[in-house]
Amino acid sequence: MSGGEIHRFRIWWRRRLGPERRATFSWLLAAVFVVLFLAAGSRIGDNVLSGPTATSSSSAPLVDLTIVHSAGAKGALCLDGSPPAYHLLRGFGSGSDKWLVHLEGGGWCQSLDSCSFRKSTPLGSSYYMERQVPFMGILSNIPSQNPDFYNWNKVKVRYCDGASFSGYRENEVQDGTKLFFRGQRIWETIMDELLQKGLANAKQALLTGCSAGGLATFIHCDDFQALLPNVATVKCFADGGFFLNEKDISGRRSIKSFYSNVVQLQEIDFQNVSLGRNHLRQCFFAEEIIKNVKTPFFILNPTYDFWQIQHILVPAESDPEHAWLRCKLNIGHCDSNQLKTLQGFRDAMLSSLSEFKQKKNGGMFINSCFVHCQSLYNQTWHSPNSPRINNKTIAEAVGDWFFDRKETKEIDCPYPCNPTCYHMNLSQLSKS
Ligand SMILES: *[C@@H]1O[C@H](CO)[C@@H](O)[C@H](O)[C@H]1NC(C)=O
Ligand SMILES: *[C@@H]1O[C@H](CO)[C@@H](O)[C@H](O)[C@H]1NC(C)=O
Ligand SMILES: *[C@@H]1O[C@H](CO)[C@@H](O)[C@H](O)[C@H]1NC(C)=O
């Protein structure tokens, strides 16, 4: 998609769609941005992504989609009733008995309308999923790009339920056609299949995921550990999944009511997700979930996570005059008051992490970049130009923690102090 096409597309969806469908669309757009900028091998200038170029990630392995046709019998269905799916890249050498399971992200749907909309996208139907995807960053099989996990068995579980693999509504919902909320069953069914494919005999295993998949990693971490009683080392690593329960700039608790809608619509039962039933149903926040997680956990999150700035701190409704538009697309365009607000958001994130920081087996890498999902792209995961804290890349930090090489609790200094940061410039693509 060129800049002009995206601009026309945006005008079209503003006119065409209500706020909820827009939320889904803005998610898909964010995904497109990230994929275009990072996966397409963009140029780096002053460590600011300066636009897509023609080069492609030709050396990244393309991994086939496996559709779990038998899943329907177990009630595991995408929103549209199609079977769920994953991509598996087999490990080799000393990695052949080690497993890394990545849960895909892609926002959430909170209403019948926005969930129905997903049925005609890969986020709601395996019918629309790409038949092959490149494995990069933590999924890469190239040692120089992924030093500790390159030869592991690696799985990317596709996200098509709209509720972080955790909803379960027994009856299909009639919305004109059919709609299913079966994320919890998708999780269980795909894990069963992977156990049979060798996960059960793993020597080491890591559950990971980004964004909504990062939240799913918090939710299912102890479930994952429980499935693997014979595996020596089981740990979990959430990337960009630490969504804050913060007020937006207009003082409203937008994200809290959004999550509350997701939980109610999709009947998320916290008994199945490591929390007691007496917990508030709104407890869909990582800060709450992590208090009860016993498995060793690593949190990677930028304090200026652009998805959180765009959807939690400054959702469209909170900024009717569009005063934040430029700043939301490029942190370099924020004025001094906006930066002050962003520093407040950073303080809130650090304060939400203070309890976790005391955990002995925990690891963290909390950097000051304007980005979202850093483990999936070699440029941010591990390369000569990657973001670093104390001269350590994210891949090195996660490896040090996983293999108990060193205690790893890295917290960056505030923006703009870190010259190694990788700041997304999303405005390039929204110009016509
Ligand atoms: C990222 O990896 C791909 C192939 O895996 C490669 O083509 C590209 O040049 C890499 N980019 C950087 C910045 O290392
Ligand atoms: C939730 O967990 C209970 C037991 O803890 C189980 O019986 C039930 O089937 C689970 N629900 C789903 C949707 O898997
Ligand atoms: C930072 O790490 C690299 C290796 O990743 C090393 O070559 C370099 O000397 C280190 N720099 C400092 C200042 O320690």
Kindly report, residue by residue over 92-112, the tens digit of the pLDDT. Answer: 999 999 999 999 999 999 999
DSSP character for 432?
A: -
**Bridge pairing between strands 178-181 and 62-67:** unpaired
Orientation of helix 19-34 relative to helix 3-16, angle to 10° = 160
**Bridge pairing between strands 153-157 and 44-45:** unpaired
Q: Catalytic residue among 192, 223, 305, 400, which?
A: 305
Separation CA 152–CA 141 (nearest Å):
8
Q: Please report, for residues 104, 275, 374, the alpha-carbon distance to residue 289 in angstroms, rounded to integers and kept in the order given.
A: 19, 7, 22
User: 117-133 burial, b for 16+ CB within 10 Å, e for fewer?
Assistant: bbbebbbbbbbbbeeeb
Residue 31 has pLDDT above 80, yes or no: no
Mean pLDDT, residues 394-409 taken together: 98
**Residue 159 contacts residue 229 (beta carbons within 8 Å):** no
- pLDDT one-digit tens code per residue, 222-266: 999 999 988 889 999 999 999 999 999 999 999 999 999 999 899
pLDDT at 284: 87
Residue 136, amino acid = M
Q: Using CA positions, which residue lies closest to atom 10 of ligand 2?
A: 272
Q: Which residues pair with 103 in a beta bridge?
A: 157, 209
pLDDT at 46: 28
Q: Please report, for residues 38, 64, 66, 78, 80, the alpha-carbon distance to residue 119 in angstroms, rounded to integers and kept in the order given.
A: 26, 21, 19, 8, 5
**372 labelled catalytic:** yes
Residue with tokens 């992504």: 49
168 lines ligand 2 (CB under 6 A): yes
395 alpha carbon to ligand 3 midpoint, in Å? 15
Q: How far apart are the first and last CA of the chain?
A: 12
Q: Using CA positions, which residue lies closest to atom 1 of ligand 1?
A: 378
Separation CA 318–CA 341 (nearest Å):
14
Mean pLDDT, residues 379-405 taken together: 97
User: 245-254 burial, b for 16+ CB within 10 Å, e for fewer?
Assistant: bbbbbeeeeb
Separation CA 152–CA 137 (nearest Å):
13
User: 182-217 burial, b for 16+ CB within 10 Å, e for fewer?
Assistant: bbbbbbbbbbbbbeeeebbebebbbbbbbbbbbbbb
Q: Tell me the ligand closest to 56's alpha carbon.
A: 1
Mean pLDDT estimate for the chain: 87
Q: Please report, for residues 68, 140, 153, 235, the alpha-carbon distance to residue 197 in angstroms, rounded to integers and kept in the order given.
A: 13, 20, 10, 20
**423 labelled catalytic:** no
Question: At CA 55, angle to CA 104 and CA 134, rounded to 5?
Answer: 25
Higher pLDDT: 35 or 143? It is 143
**Residue 1 contacts residue 424 (beta carbons within 8 Å):** no
268 alpha carbon to ligand 2 midpoint, in Å? 11
Separation CA 283–CA 270 (nearest Å):
9
Burial class (CB in 10 A: 0-12, 13-18, 19+), 277: exposed
3-430: in CATH 3.40.190.10:
no
Separation CA 239–CA 371 (nearest Å):
11
**87 labelled catalytic:** no
Q: Which residues line ligand 1 (CB under 6 A)?
A: 41, 57-60, 136, 145, 378-379, 383
Higher pLDDT: 221 or 17? It is 221
Residue 39 has pLDDT above 60, yes or no: no
Which atom of ligand 2 is the closest one to the Cα of 269?
1
* Cis before 315? omega within 30: no
**Residue 303 contacts residue 412 (beta carbons within 8 Å):** yes
If you average pLDDT over each of 37-46, 169-178, 191-200, 260-269, which comes out highest? Answer: 191-200
272 lines ligand 2 (CB under 6 A): yes
Backbone angles phi, psi at 210, to 5 degrees: -120, 145
Residue 339, amino acid = L
Nearest to 214 by CA among 107, 141, 89, 115: 107
267 alpha carbon to ligand 2 midpoint, in Å? 12
* pTM value > 0.85: yes
- pLDDT one-digit tens code per residue, 73-85: 999 999 999 999 9
Mean pLDDT, residues 120-138 taken together: 98
Q: Catalytic residue among 116, 164, 166, 211, which?
A: 211
**Residue 371 contacts residue 380 (beta carbons within 8 Å):** yes
Q: What share of the chain is helix, strand, coil (3-state, %, to 5)?
A: 40, 15, 45
349 alpha carbon to ligand 1 midpoint, in Å? 31
Residue 103, amino acid = L
